[in-house]
Structure 1
Amino acid sequence: MDLVGVLQYGERLVQEWALGQHPTAQRLLEAARNLTRQEGRETRTAMAIRQAWWALEWEYKRDWDTESFSPAQGGRPGATRLLLVVTDGESHDGDELPAALAECDRQNVTRYAIAVLGHYLRRQKDPEDFIREIKSIASDPDEKYFFNVTDEAALNDIVDALGDRIFSLEGAGLRLGSQEGLGIPAGSTAGGTESPSSPRSGTRGDNESAFELEMSQIGFSIHRLEDGILFGMVGAYDWEGGVLEESQRGRIVPPWEAFQEEFPLELKNHAAYLGYSVSSLQLPGGQHLLVAGAPRFQHKGKVVLFQLDPTGTVTVAQALMGEQPHSPLHPQIGSYFGSEVLALDLEGDGDSDLLLVAAPTYLGGQSRETGRVYVYRVGQVRGQAWAWGCQAGG
């Protein structure tokens, strides 16, 4: 049986429950529903990590009788120990982090770390130092043990991806199941942060597991074609995403390599969420293009216009990233460009005239989340489709 303990922190520590206090999944869920967020003026991450590894230390020590996660309260000799740190701000005791992390290494505690970027994105602050600190907390390599998410709401979406990574560790010799213990400290930024209801926010992080289509979430988005249906698969290929066409041509699933030119390995975009939205454009002469949005691409988003042949080969006609020719406006981090796409036939002749692309969390004046819609005029030159864009603010 897995044992889970939760420790919440800001400028002080709050033990929510000890290892083994809630031995069933149902009791854990009930306890989690009653959690309330701790606010404060400081984020004491090093202090929380020290307390957490004490929770996972199995060797009984006399003065641990007062510790919340002592062996008497659930710690077990020989248990595999995982530590998950979730925080949305830099620590105020960062000078103590190296010693706390060194002790975790000595105790063989595997650490996952999740950086919540909402506080930074909504204030248009550079999160580079924050991300660097949270990466230092995660076990090596970062590609396996580090995540970041756009805001608090996105933590709901990270569950499958995190589980995917933990499952993949079995092949590397980390035994999960009856010998596993989890200690989870969750941090808060000084002064607290907003908890916006961002629409289906996403995650970022590189997943080196062997999963390809097992976590696909096929049907996350759907679009009716003339002779079938186009499905989005945001979880496919380690959350890089993908699409599936079910039509008179049969079932067509492009392989991971099909979109590699648009999502190259060196950019490490395994959480681009391609297929978050899907649509199609009808062109003059009976041709058509498929459309798929990837709102997590490089934190800014991308929309790909492409053709798909029966073998799964993808031919990309154009990739849109919200840029506007001869304009100082550029794609905005966290705007979720491509989260919705819609083709319009204004003239009623069966051909697509406009492609609308939503960026619902685009920040307007005074850092207000006004949203933005990008309007692209669809045309065709020498048999090649193209889209010329203009922007309309929300």
Structure 2
Amino acid sequence: MDFAFDARTEELRAKLLAFMDEYVYPAEAVAEEQRSLLASPWDTPAVVEELKAEARRQGLWNLFLPDSEYGAGLTNLQYAPLAEIMGRSPHLAPTATNCAAPDTGNMEVLTQFGDEQQRKQWLEPLLAGEIRSAFAMTEPDVASSDATNITTHIERDGDEYVITGRKWYISGAMHPDCKIHIVMGKTDPDGEDVRRQQSMVLVPRDTPGVTIKRAMQVFGYEDHSHGGHAEVIFDHARVPVSNLIGEEGGGFAIAQARLGPGRIHHCMRLIGMAERAIELMCRRAVSRNAFGKSLAQQGVVHNWIADARVTVEQLRLLVLKTAWLMDTVGNRGAHTEIQAIKIATPRAVVDILDRAIQLHGAGGVSQDFPLAELYAGARTLMIADGPDEVHQRSLARRELKRYL
């Protein structure tokens, strides 16, 4: 395993680091100020559009997509350090570079499984950053950690599908530029194979019967960067049969294909969040005095910083190994490692952020530092894309199988 950065990765890292220093970090406070003056909290601050234009000009655009026809053509191993850098400002940098969830996963789905018309109508404007999208899978009335529980119905009626169901925490759905939902539901609810009951269909946001009921908060945050998280009602919403993605019964397999890269992308960005937390801890420690000496001279602070550094280095190596395996043996071959990083990374980064918040005192839980919002995002990732316990269950079963 060779994790050394190749020439292209080094070039993009240098450009992205400079882009962050010159444009992204200074824009964080500007974006919040502009957002407070907007008519709707979901409207895009002008500075975000400026960042997107600059990122495109510099070639820092669609870096996540390995398909060279549509994206940058980077491997997972090449993209990993770039996603880490973007994770240092997770509410601005991914959006600025068109590498933000849920659009990234939706673009991957359309690239791999969409037909020519679907790619032309929806993928191309998503790649151009002209529209946003949502992924409608999670439901409030069932344990969605087991996707076979999904109850949304997708019933065929002639040349149309009729979608009926209730979804929530649908990322991206509150954004005014969200034009399309990828909806997962059951086309064959009584089928013998529970993993062949589900399908995915494209449902335009303006389809009659689609209602955005409310915005769902995350630890009190609206999460504007992802276009919010909405509760969405589908009340006999009708779309053409041509809006089916792939084949009937293929929804579960498509979801798994979508979630593999999504999980590692989250972990890559989480490492960047941890690095931002360590930087803030160190700056705080050398600038504040308590009980006659600086915080940097307090033994417990030494422990927090040292433990954080050791943890980040361990996590980074595991994520890079996972990226390398995904590139060399495929997502299925890297299944154990994908689950391992999904378990380990959010949990460890939450702990690092918690220490950073503690070191900042009241400032740590305020809006004057990014730590509270970073904490909310990291803690949520212990649930999103499969809760820790589901991954632990699957990983343990795979380990035990060798002994049974």
Please give the TM-score of this superposition, normalised by the length of structure 1: 0.26
Q: Which has the higher strand share?
A: 1
Structure with the higher fraction of residues in helix conformation: 2
Greater relative CO, 1 or 2 (CA 8 Å, sep 6+): 2
